[in-house]
Amino acid sequence: MSVKIDLVKGISQSQVQELLIYSKTDSQVIKNTHDTERFKNLESFKAWRPGKTIYILSDERKRLLGIIWFEKKKIPEVPGIHYTFAIRTYRPIRGKGYAEKFMQKAFDDFGRQKGFWLSTRKDNSTAIKLYEKFGFKMVNSKENRIIMVLEG
């Protein structure tokens, strides 16, 4: 499979449809994210979309293989950090080393100097290792979630 990173900001209609399907059928996405609600249907996607900068990982046929988004959104637990970050990779490429490269390209384009936070499940060890390797540090833990930050 030939994979390329598409840094055109935005997402095509066919990729939105794939996103909606992944949110209902990908067991890792269902377990580790809130995407079943966030991307329940086209209306919920449209309600979620404003204010997000989206990057897509796709193959040569423009099929959705991963998504990253940034949003200007403060978090009370971490003063001074003003952006949230999220990444998803999907089954066809998950575990094949694309996530870190995808993150690097997206952060290079969006800008690393801004300061970012994310939230993930405590038991999502694969994601936590990726985030730590990229420079994120855990700052808060409650219930089954942790908050990590990447300082600008």
User: So where are the chain's domains?
Assistant: 3-150
Bigger pLDDT: 55 vs 141 = 55
Cα torsion 129, 134, 139, 143 to 10°: value is: -40
Strands 116-121 and 137-142 come out as: unpaired
Q: What is the mean pLDDT of residues 34-58?
A: 95
The predicted structure's pLDDT at residue 2: 59
Q: What is the mean pLDDT of residues 122-142?
A: 93
Three-state DSSP at 24 gives helix
Which tokens sit at 114? 């801004």
Say whether pLDDT at 12 is over 70. yes
pLDDT tens digits, 48-90: 999 999 999 988 888 999 999 999 998 887 788 889 999 999 9
Phi, psi of 128 (to 5 degrees): -60, -45
- pLDDT over 70 (residue 7): no
Q: Give me the CATH code for the 3-150 domain, please.
A: 3.40.630.30
